Amino acid sequence: MANKWFETVAVAQRRAEKRLPKSVYGALIAGSEKGLSSRDNLESFDQLGLSPHIAGLARERSLATTVMGQAISMPVLISPTGVQAVHPQGEVAVARAAANRGVAMGLSSFASKSIEEVCEVNKQVLFQMYWSGDRDTMIQRLARAKAAGVKGIILTLDWSFANGRDWGSPWIPEKIDLKSALKLTPEALSRPRWFLGFLRTGHIPSLTTPNMAVPGTKPPTFFGAYYEWMQSPLPTWDEVAWLRAQWEGPFMVKGVGRIDDAKRVVDLGATALSVSNHGGNNLDGTPAPIRMLPGIADAVGDQIEVLLDGGVRRGSDVVKALALGARAVMIGRAYLWGLAANGQAGVENVLDVLRGGIDSTLLGLGKSGITELDRGDVVAPPDFYRSLGG
């Protein structure tokens, strides 16, 4: 049998492309409108160089840290993604892999597996919410998360309901019934290994969102949940502060790009923020988070834990983000490629690739641990940074 281990995330992505039906792969690539932001997320990391030492290097390097009160073995977390059809075990496989590698996991409210199933196998779950539903519904969701053992909340605020992609969005059925199954059959049959993986479990992807269910009712479909979210009045900063006050533990706001917004997030008493543009899936033209990070870290980094997500594909990307002021990063597509390529083992493989890359970058930079990194370790071209709302 072919060796399933892969040496970089790019290799995992190529395997994912071969393995997944075209529309499922397309939904992961995503990128809104023209794809300017999703491209910039990747290209901006390429524009950053590193400043190496060649002797007097540290024999051992320490990667462990804490984020939102959770001790983690390296400065990487699983970013929440609403994935419905990548792998039959979905978020449960990701949660097991993360637990095995000592990494905390963000679980999307649009996930295909329930909070309870995921918390069963990972004791470091952060539950992600959107501003969706009325106050009672949100309080119910917080209570359910607490009862399941969730350790913190991630509130994602960057979403503007854009629905056009120049490359053509993949078709996602409302639910899998006979009609949609027939329409999807040729695609599924073109990827027999993926299809068989689901058939073996006796389930086809159900495209439902169990964490958006009102207690005692059936989980809504993805579109049902999306509709609830679209209909919800948009929050003021005071309402965001209200939600934060409903949760006693650590609380992150994800999707920050501007310094003035970062200050507001500090004011409402959040524990952490993530500098993010939703992986380039939201407002196209938003700069890559790595460009916005230093301004935000300078402004609020001593008052709140500053994370970054968007475009992280290798260990050196993680090191660059830490050197520019992040405490840790969150990864999205990187682990989805691993999950598609080889299930739980594929996600572990991705985390191992990142760990190895962080470690060797630290070695090359002459550092004995992630806390020694600073801006001098990174070479940025003129005009690289973007300070928005400063």
Ligand X SMILES: Cc1cc2nc3c(=O)[nH]c(=O)nc-3n(C[C@H](O)[C@H](O)[C@H](O)COP(=O)(O)O)c2cc1C
1 exposed, middle or buried (CB, 10 Å; 0-12, 13-18, 19+)?
Answer: exposed
Q: Establish whether 87 is a catalytic residue.
A: no
Q: Which is nearer to ligand X, 61 or 106 (CB)?
A: 106
Q: Give the residue from 140, 144, 105 showing the smallest Cα distance to 123.
A: 105
| Residue type present at position 198 | F
Q: Which is nearer to ligand X, 77 or 119 (CB)?
A: 77
The stretch among 5-13, 18-26, 265-273, 275-283 that binds ligand X (CB under 6 A) is 275-283
Question: How do strand 152-156 and strand 251-256 relate by DSSP bridges?
Answer: parallel
Distance CA 27, CA 86 (A): 10
| Site for ligand X contains 80 (CB under 6 A) | yes
HEC secondary structure over 305-367: EEEEECCCCCHHHHHHHHHCCCCEEEECHHHHHHHHHHHHHHHHHHHHHHHHHHHHHHHHHCC
| Site for ligand X contains 19 (CB under 6 A) | no
Q: Which residue carries 């190529």 as its tokens? A: 14
| Site for ligand X contains 351 (CB under 6 A) | no
Q: Which residue carries 């009045």 as its tokens? A: 233
Q: Give the residue from 235, 364, 312 showing the smallest Cα distance to 76.
A: 312
CB of 54 to ligand X, least distance (A): 32
Number of residues located near ligand X, criterion CB under 6 A:
26
Q: Specify the DSSP class assigned to residue 271.
A: S
Q: Which is nearer to ligand X, 83 or 240 (CB)?
A: 83
Q: Which is nearer to ligand X, 110 or 194 (CB)?
A: 110
Under 8 Å between Cβ of 325 and 273: no
| Site for ligand X contains 279 (CB under 6 A) | yes
| Site for ligand X contains 44 (CB under 6 A) | no
Distance CA 94, CA 78 (A): 8
| Site for ligand X contains 221 (CB under 6 A) | no
Residues 6+ apart with CB under 8 A from 154: 80, 106, 126, 127, 128, 129, 252, 253, 254, 274
| HSE, side-chain direction, 13 A CA sphere, residue 287 | 20
| Site for ligand X contains 209 (CB under 6 A) | no
DSSP secondary structure string for all residues of 56-99: S--SS-B--EEETTEEESSSEEEPP---SSS-TTHHHHHHHHHH
CB of 335 to ligand X, least distance (A): 8
Q: Which is nearer to ligand X, 306 or 367 (CB)?
A: 306
CB of 110 to ligand X, least distance (A): 4
Applying CB under 6 A, among 24, 28, 67, 304 the residue interacting with ligand X is 28
| Site for ligand X contains 224 (CB under 6 A) | no
Q: Which is nearer to ligand X, 61 or 286 (CB)?
A: 286
Applying CB under 6 A, among 133, 205, 332, 357 the residue interacting with ligand X is 332
| Site for ligand X contains 108 (CB under 6 A) | yes
Q: Which is nearer to ligand X, 6 or 337 (CB)?
A: 337
Applying CB under 6 A, among 30, 85, 306, 318 the residue interacting with ligand X is 30
| Site for ligand X contains 312 (CB under 6 A) | yes
Applying CB under 6 A, among 254, 314, 355, 367 the residue interacting with ligand X is 254
| Site for ligand X contains 256 (CB under 6 A) | no
Q: Compute CA distances 6 → 116, 181, 190, 243, 326, whole Å.
A: 31, 32, 23, 42, 27
Give me the catalytic one of 53, 87, 203, 278.
278
CB of 286 to ligand X, least distance (A): 12
Applying CB under 6 A, among 21, 82, 295, 343 the residue interacting with ligand X is 82
The stretch among 12-20, 292-300, 329-337, 370-378 that binds ligand X (CB under 6 A) is 329-337
Distance CA 41, CA 31 (A): 10
Q: Which residues bind ligand X (CB under 6 A)?
A: 27-28, 30, 41, 79-83, 108, 110, 128, 156, 254, 276, 278-279, 281, 309-312, 331-334
Give the active site residues: 278
